[in-house]
Amino acid sequence: MRIGVLGTGTVGTTIATKLVELGHEVKMGSRSAGNEKGVEWASGAGEGASEGSFADAASFGEVVFNCTPGAVSVDALRMAGPENLSGKVLIDVSNPLDFSKGMPPTLSVCNDDSVGEQIQREFPDARVVKALNTVNASIMVDPSQVTGSVIFVCGNDDAAKAEVGELLQSFGWPGDDVLDVGDIAGARGTEMYLPLWLRMMGALGTPGFNIAVVR
């Protein structure tokens, strides 16, 4: 598949690298084509890896990942262009962490809204699926580190969620561990989990953990 990954940070790089390893063609997007991190990634990631602007990556991708800070994700996606997102599965990995008042971060949106919903509202023709935002980047693409734990998906389009489920299985997530928490408003819960995730990281002394559902 051709996949656009918007974001040159740890998450964008980690997901893009995994996708290339799986045989996909991947274009990493940034605010400006020729971004140092994008070029470094594209030159080292092997065949099928390229870089460009957010718009270049979004128009290239049949599927698009949003790996930008949640508080500015709508801005980044506007730069990508609504016409380049229309009809496409848009996997939103972002969290609304606001570090402007120091640590710990607050949430730039919460309670009765979420970044996932903001994106779906702003780009109604995109098929937004929130996923992977509740684990650290390394676990996203190597769930064998946390066998038996859960990964959430939510979104308004069932076929889009099924496609994302298949992609997650190709990353190593067993189908039974992919938990569909409903429409895109489910992103409120997975994003508001972040303050607890941060506390657990502090208590455990590592970001290398995940949660399991026991019933």
Q: Which helix (H) or strand (E) holds 20?
A: helix 10-21
Q: Which is nearer to ligand NAP, 136 or 156 (CB)?
A: 136
Contacts 24+ apart (CB under 8 A), 32-35: 35/8
- Residues from 4 through 43 that contact ligand NAP (CB under 6 A): 7-12, 30-31, 35
Q: Which is nearer to ligand NAP, 69 or 165 (CB)?
A: 69
Tokens 């959430």, residue located: 152
- Least Cβ distance, residue 84 to ligand NAP (angstroms): 15
CB burial of 42-64 (b: ≥16 within 10 Å; e: otherwise) equals beebeebbbbbbbbbbbbbbebb
Among 5, 16, 58, 67, binds ligand NAP (CB under 6 A): 67
- Least Cβ distance, residue 215 to ligand NAP (angstroms): 25
Among 4, 52, 61, 69, binds ligand NAP (CB under 6 A): 69
For residues 112 to 141, the per-residue mask of contacts with ligand NAP, x marking binding by CB under 6 A and - elsewhere, is ---------------------x--xx----
Closest CA to 202 of 94, 69, 134, 104: 104
**Cis ω on the peptide bond leading into residue 174 (within 30° of 0)?**
no
Q: Counting contacts by CB under 6 A, is residue 143 touching ligand NAP?
A: no
Residues touching ligand NAP: how many (CB under 6 A)? 23
For residues 71 to 100, the per-residue mask of contacts with ligand NAP, x marking binding by CB under 6 A and - elsewhere, is -x--xx----------------xxx-x---
Contacts of 66 (CB under 8 A, 6+ apart): 6, 7, 73, 76, 77, 90, 91, 92, 93, 94, 119
Q: Look up residue 105 and give its DSSP letter.
A: P
Residues that bind ligand NAP (CB under 6 A): 7-12, 30-31, 35, 67-70, 72, 75-76, 93-95, 97, 133, 136-137
